[in-house]
Structure 1
Amino acid sequence: MKLLSVNAGRATAVDYTDAAGGKSGVDKRPVEGPVRVFAPGPTGVGASGVEGDDVCDLRFHGGEDRAAYAFAREDLDGWERELGRALPNGSFAENLTTAGLDVSGALIGERWRVGSGVVLEVTGGRIPCRTFQGHLGEKAWARRFTQEGAPGALLRVIEPGEIRAGDTIEVVRRPDHDITVSLLFRAATLERSLLPRTMVAAEWMESGYLETAREYIAKYGS
């Protein structure tokens, strides 16, 4: 399992975002390493945890629970075949493009060591938005991405440091539950009756997912 590239985006004016200022950092490209990875501050206030990566909409991106985003090269390859177009590393606005790692099958709270020192913790999956759809330029993209159910992993930084393309990735902890990124994503999008089940992973869950689960349980019970 290894890191193929570290990707970052600069704030650029686009016509497909409703973020303040009309800018987005969704267009992420591989950058030369080493790249510093750090805890960026509270979700909703902090931005990206990847040095040189701009986050323009703090409502949905950045902060401790969403410090970085990983997507598997294998899944990008699958979408290349599906869409009939090239998708270079970073095409899905991921900060980390991986190889040999089941990113969407990772458990919530699972920890990865990248390189010699950085430790990241899985918190949830990426919810597709208007900006992502506009960036890809594919018809009904948010729906198609959601139905695929392999959203990639949002990550919290446990131990900061520097990473670069070619670093090894090692799974160093797997919690004692069965809530994967894909299952949590499905519960929050297409199968909300699964939300009570996901609460066994509440202590590691990204705050937006946790709020969604709590609201569902408050309304419908567990």
Structure 2
Amino acid sequence: MGANQIHHLAIGLPKDMNHGENKQIRTGIQKQIVEHAYVTEHGFQQDDVADKKNHGGPDRAVCIYPYKHYKTWEREFGVKLDKAAFGENLTVKDMSEDDVYIGNTYKVGTAVIQVTQGRIPCDTINKRTGISTLLKRVIETGYTGFLCRVLKSGKVEADDELEIINTDPRRVSVLFANQTYFHDTSNKKAIEKILTVDALAESWREKLTKRLRKL
């Protein structure tokens, strides 16, 4: 197995999910493991989100989660997590928020994708895993996973690798952006640095520009 190898590939359309005491939510977080899937600028075929306001769209077409965090959470909470438990499309080995830069471009299968932002997780993660403090810990650590736009449509196989085509020259890691976004919210210098990344997702650009104006 090479570096940046896909550990599992998952897709799924929104459906009702039971959680807690007889509660139900409609969500796209419950994805199915597949052997191959076709991805376009709108995301993977046969894959979608329920909450269109906060998820999905061209800047958030593909969701990636680092495989190594599964071990961290399983140890911390004493559980065995399902595959694609975070609703990600690609669970990837040897990639992490601290060494992936926003703007990095990767070839995966015949597709080309570009990292646009850290994921902003919601409490559906808690409902999906049954761990009430997981969202809180994901935000504290910055282990959110990250989102990508699709620069070239193509077919992705479950055993493909993400081959780096281009490392963004600004070298703003997803972890740095997450820490600024969630924890260091009035750090003018850090916000300005993130805003220099051309590939940054539009929603982040708007939010951070607004934040900068207030400082």
Question: Shared topology, TM-score over 0.5?
Answer: yes
2:81–2:129 contact (8 Å) kept in structure 1:
no
What is the Cα-based RMSD across aligned positions, in Å? 1.8
Deviation at 1:24, TM superposition (A): 0.7
- Read off the aligned partner of 2:39 and give its amino acid letter: V
- Of 33, 39, 42 in structure 1, the residue corresponding to residue 41 of structure 2 is 39
1:204 alignment partner, SS class: coil
Gaps of 5+ in 2: none
Corresponding position: 1:142 with 2:135: yes
Deviation at 1:99, TM superposition (A): 1.3
Deviation at 1:105, TM superposition (A): 2.5
- Of 7, 10, 14 in structure 2, the residue corresponding to residue 11 of structure 1 is 14
What residue in structure 2 maps to residue 166 of structure 1?
Answer: 159
Equivalent residues in 2 for 1:92-171, closer than 5 Å: 92-115=86-109, 117-171=110-164
What residue in structure 1 maps to residue 51 of structure 2?
Answer: 57
- Identical aligned residues as a percent: 27
Deviation at 1:125, TM superposition (A): 0.9
Structure showing the higher strand proportion among its residues: 2
Deviation at 1:32, TM superposition (A): 2.6
Quote the Cα distance in structure 2 between the aligned partners of 1:120 and 1:81.
31
Corresponding position: 1:219 with 2:214: yes
Deviation at 1:58, TM superposition (A): 0.7
1:134 alignment partner, SS class: helix
What residue in structure 1 maps to residue 202 of structure 2?
Answer: 207
- Of 182, 196, 204 in structure 1, the residue corresponding to residue 192 of structure 2 is 196
Gaps of 5+ in 1: 41-48
TM normalised by structure 2 equals: 0.89
Deviation at 1:10, TM superposition (A): 2.9
Q: Cα deviations across residues 105-132 of structure 1 (Å, max 9, x unaligned)?
A: 21110001112x2111000111121222
- Distance change in 2, residues 1:15/1:85 (3 Å): closer
Deviation at 1:100, TM superposition (A): 2.1
TM normalised by structure 1 equals: 0.86
1:71–1:103 contact (8 Å) kept in structure 2:
no
What residue in structure 1 maps to residue 71 of structure 2?
Answer: 77
Structure showing the higher helix proportion among its residues: 1
Corresponding position: 1:178 with 2:178: no
Deviation at 1:136, TM superposition (A): 2.1
